[in-house]
């Protein structure tokens, strides 16, 4: 099961904008780039936070492995989605060291990255 449509970052231009202007945070297995729409204090009328996942061929030449990693990251995102603030564009990059990584480790690292970037409400 994938993310709801309103939470997907789909267009190439959107990915490029996040890569160009977003702030980068790293963990051993994941990299997060985040770009806030409008840094305002009100959360009214902000669009839903959108996510993109990037797993390059440097992680693994096998599509099966890359897709497994994408599915694990999507599952972790779905679990963290209720805590995530509105108004962000986020690209999650999977690093080569993530091969063989367990789901709980990905979930922990993703939570830490969101907290560091300020994407999670209350942080």
Question: Is the pLDDT at 12 greater than 60, yes or no?
Answer: yes
Are the CB atoms for 19 and 60 separated by under 8 Å? no
Q: Residue 102's pLDDT is what?
A: 94
Structure pTM?
A: 0.90
The one-character DSSP state at 49 is P
pLDDT of residue 4: 87
- What is the pLDDT confidence band of residue 122, given thresholds at 50, 70 and 90? low
pLDDT in tens, 51-88: 999 999 999 999 999 999 999 999 999 999 999 999 99
CATH code for position 20:
3.30.230.10
Q: How confident is the model at residue 7 (pLDDT cuts 50, 70, 90)?
A: very high
Question: Whole domain around residue 18: which residue ranges?
Answer: 9-117
Q: Return the ∠ at Cα 117 (arms to 115 and 121), rounded to 5°.
A: 50
User: Residue 4 in contact with residue 78, Cβ under 8 Å?
Assistant: no
In a domain, 123, yes or no: no
Number of domains observed in the structure of the chain? 1
For residue 45, pLDDT over 80 is answered with no
């Amino acid at each position: 099961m994938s993310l709801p449509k309103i939470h997907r970052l789909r267009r190439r231009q959107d990915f490029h904008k996040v890569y160009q202007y977003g702030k980068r945070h790293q963990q051993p297995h994941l990299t997060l780039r985040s770009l806030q729409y409008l840094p305002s204090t009100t959360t009214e009328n902000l669009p839903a936070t959108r996510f993109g996942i990037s797993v390059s061929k440097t992680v693994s030449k096998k599509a099966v492995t890359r897709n497994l990693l994408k599915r694990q990251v999507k599952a972790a995102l779905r679990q963290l989605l209720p805590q995530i603030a509105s108004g962000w564009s986020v690209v999650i990059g999977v690093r080569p060291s993530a091969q063989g990584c367990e789901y709980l480790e990905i979930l922990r690292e993703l939570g830490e990255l969101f907290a560091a970037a300020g994407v999670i409400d209350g942080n």
